[in-house]
Chains A and B, each alone.
Chain A
Amino acid sequence: MNNATTIPIEATAETPWTLPYRGTVGMACLIIAEAAIFIIFVVAYIFYIGKSLSGPTPAQVLELPIFGTICLLSSSFTVHYAVAALRKNNLRGTTLGLASTVLLGTIFLITTAREWYHLIHDEGLTIQTNLFGTTYYSLVGLHATHVVVGLIMLSLVLFFSLTGRLKEEHEKKLDVLSLYWHFVDAVWVIVFLVVYVLGR
């Protein structure tokens, strides 16, 4: 048999052919996978509520991190503003939105760090102390890791934005990054409810 090939093509194209943007679909897949990881940690947390053999208990040491939560949740709005501004080619607005997102995210991280410092030094609660410590530090730590990763990526975009390399055509890519950031915020809502409301 010879190797002559024929590739089918249609003479008259049908209805216009549009497919979803691959960045968005890829990020959606990543979010599903990450959500599954978080679910396992949340399940472990809920499963071990009240099962610690020794203290301290959540009710004794945990306080509602209202300020950090407000900061993190408002950063969702600022990153959304950054994307919307870039879509309208408002580059100054984008820079402003990105800068405030990075700032708010960093403030959140600092509140978490202060909380951990307090728990470790004043209350003597470490990951080895009891099941509460084990599940608390791993769940909150996993979330904080995601915040750090998000902040690194956002800072990179902020750097590009400040040096004038971020253009309107990058709008879809920034949108994909903002999806990740919204996900990190949504996870915090769950973590907040489970750790500070349900678990206390």
Chain B
Amino acid sequence: MTTTSVMEAIDETPTAERGRPPLNVIYEWLTTVDHKKIGLMYIMYALVFLLIGGVEAMLMRIQLAVPNNHFVSPQVFNQLFTMHGTTMVFFVGMPILFGFGNYLVPLMIGARDMAFPRLNAFSFWISAFAGVLLYYSYIGASGLYAAGSAPDVGWFAYAPLTAKVFSPGHSTDYWTLAVFLSGVGSIGTALNIVTTTLCMRCKGMKLSRMPLLVWLYLVMSSMVFVAVSPLTAAQIMLTLDRYIGSHFFDTQAGGSAVLWMHFFWIFGHPEVYILVLPAFAFVNEIIPVFSRKAIFGYPAMVAATVGIGFISMSVWAHHMFTVGLGAAGNTFFVFATMVISVPTGIKIFNWLATIWGGKIIFATPMIFCIAFLFQFLIAGLTGIMLAAAPFTWQLGNSYFVVAHFHYVLVGAIVVALFGAFYYWYPKVTGRMMDERLGKWHFWLFIIGFHLTFDFMHVPGLLGMPRRIYTYEAGRGWGTLNLIVGIGAIFQAAGVLCFVYNLVWAYYKGKEAGHDPWDAWTLEWSTQSPPPAYNFAIEPTVNSRRPLWDLKHPEDTDSEYER
């Protein structure tokens, strides 16, 4: 293997561009089709919505901190949990993960851009528009009837509550259209990621040599086609119902409310896996680098991912055990749901085996990944509990369920995301984030997380239903809810450390160089930040860890992978 070093002579742009008028810079970002810029816009946009969704969560926790509270009205509380859920899933989770995918996939496969750069820009802007549309409902939801109202039908918007009679005004339409448009954007970006992965790989980057991150994004994007499209179809039906009087979910005319539940959860459950696969992807990249070992069981990891992708399509009705599906239906979905813990378990064991015997470096990205491992395990265990239909009959719609899925979404996905931020920030900006602030962020957030979501299981077990705006004193829920609220404060403090660190490091962080972590995938072979064309010459790879081969010509991976 030969190497070419340095192509800096070609890349004079960054220095030449300094001191351009701000209007030019704004124009460039608005019209860009560069996958890195679009990726960053996705991430920035998601971070803004993360703060908005976080504030909504804080308001709900203040309301529930003590019994008989009147901090917000019941109507406002309904809007808060609807907006919190919708925001976090469609306008934080999806865009932030697509943002990382956009940024990293072409770099990792040695490509210069996505397969369809203009479609990429379109998908971003339509998703961004959808988020704005959702929040515009606060001021624009039907001027006369429901001025200043937001959607209040819950994030899964069960029929017949969404019918025109029960949800007059336009707030529900804003929800429908926002979710519909965000779905269009998601399908566009997913299509782009699949096509990029299949058609844009550099020489030698066989499917069996792709970084696991790219593999997981491939599977996740393929799932988007079959999971998000049903939601899009269901939103078309709902809009027809509300606007031209069709009867899809109209029980008065023989329509079925349960059909909406099926359509929603056919989307809803795979969506959880769509969100968690990128988190797995980050962990797949970070753990080996900080354990100084190649990933354990690469083919098993790929197989487990594909397995999760398939099985996750057949588990949706475990959200509907309390509807009364009949014994056969219940048994099937109990079984399917429990089966999915097998490939997931394979992944956990592979990560442990990767760490085992490694020279572990406890840098900030790595400690977030270790926290991810523990928390994801617990989230999976409560998931298996809830997979048993009788258990759900007892605890369905209680705070136990809320605690369970927040354990996945926050404890696994958000925590892995934080790790990813610390890991790739040097590549994106050329500067390191501060380690000490990173540790503060980690501990504040983890302590807050466990205060909030460990204790949240208990009121659920004691019978506290979700989505109630207040409760009586003397039911034994008061202290627990107060602890949950205090945990939220710790988490918010951790996130503030993180945001401060992001901004501080951009100006004052240590220069990173092109490969600060001594890592092995292709994105670390180009400059930080990467030039617009990513690679001055097209790379060629011989193994799964091209930079390892480059740094250790005496002991290359390609020797073993033959």
Contact = CB atoms under 8 A, between A and B. Distances in A.
A127 B240 contact: yes
A131 interface: yes
A127 B248 CA distance: 10
A169 interface: no
Interface stretch (A26-34, A85-93, A180-188): A26-34
B194 interface: yes
A33 B204 contact: no
Interface of B: 1-8, 115-116, 187, 190-192, 194-195, 198-201, 203-204, 222, 224-226, 228-230, 232-234, 236-237, 240, 244-248, 253-256, 259, 263, 266, 430, 511-516, 522, 525-528, 535-542, 546-547, 549-550
B198 A25 contact: yes
Top 4 A-B pairs ranked by shortest CB distance?
Answer: A1-B513, A36-B229, A10-B540, A40-B233
Contact of A134 (B116, B232, B248, B516): B248
A48 B541 CA distance: 55
Contacts, number: 177
Contact of A33 (B8, B187, B515): B187
A85 B4 CA distance: 46
Given A1-B511, A10-B204, A53-B253, 14 more contacts: A6-B6, A6-B525, A7-B4, A7-B7, A8-B522, A22-B115, A32-B225, A36-B230, A37-B233, A127-B240, A127-B244, A127-B245, A131-B255, A133-B246
B201 A19 contact: yes
Contacts of A131: 247, 253-255
Contacts of B195: 22, 25-26, 29
B190 to A, nearest CB: 7
A47 interface: yes
B6 A9 contact: no
Given A20-B198, A22-B195, A34 B229 contact: yes
A2 B256 contact: no
Max chain A CB contacts within 10 Å: which of B2, B536, B549? Answer: B2
Contacts of B229: 33-34, 36-37, 40
Contacts of B245: 127-128
Contacts of B190: 29
Contacts of A37: 229-230, 232-233
Contacts of A10: 1-2, 203-204, 540-542
A22 B200 contact: yes
A8 B226 contact: no
A47 to B, nearest CB: 6
Contact of A8 (B192, B199, B511, B525): B525
A59 interface: no
Contacts of A138: 236-237, 240, 246, 248
Interface string A2-19: 111111111101100101
A5 B200 contact: no
B135 to A, nearest CB: 27
Nearest to A16: B203
Nearest to A42: B233
B198 A19 contact: yes
Nearest to A133: B246
A21 interface: yes
Contacts of B247: 128, 130-131, 134
A133 B522 CA distance: 56
Interface string A106-141: 000000000000000000000110110111011000
30 contacts: A1-B513, A4-B5, A4-B6, A5-B6, A5-B525, A5-B526, A7-B537, A7-B539, A8-B540, A9-B538, A10-B2, A10-B540, A10-B541, A11-B1, A19-B201, A21-B199, A25-B115, A25-B195, A30-B191, A33-B224, A36-B233, A41-B237, A47-B259, A48-B254, A52-B254, A127-B240, A128-B246, A131-B253, A134-B247, A138-B248
A14 B200 CA distance: 17
B256 A47 contact: yes
Contacts of A135: 248
A194 interface: no
Interface in A41-64: 41, 44, 47-48, 51-53
A29 B225 contact: yes
A17 B203 contact: yes
Given A32-B225, A33-B229, A36-B230, A3 B528 contact: yes
A30 B115 CA distance: 14
Contacts of A26: 115-116, 191-192, 195
Nearest to B534: A7
B200 A6 contact: no
Contacts of A30: 191
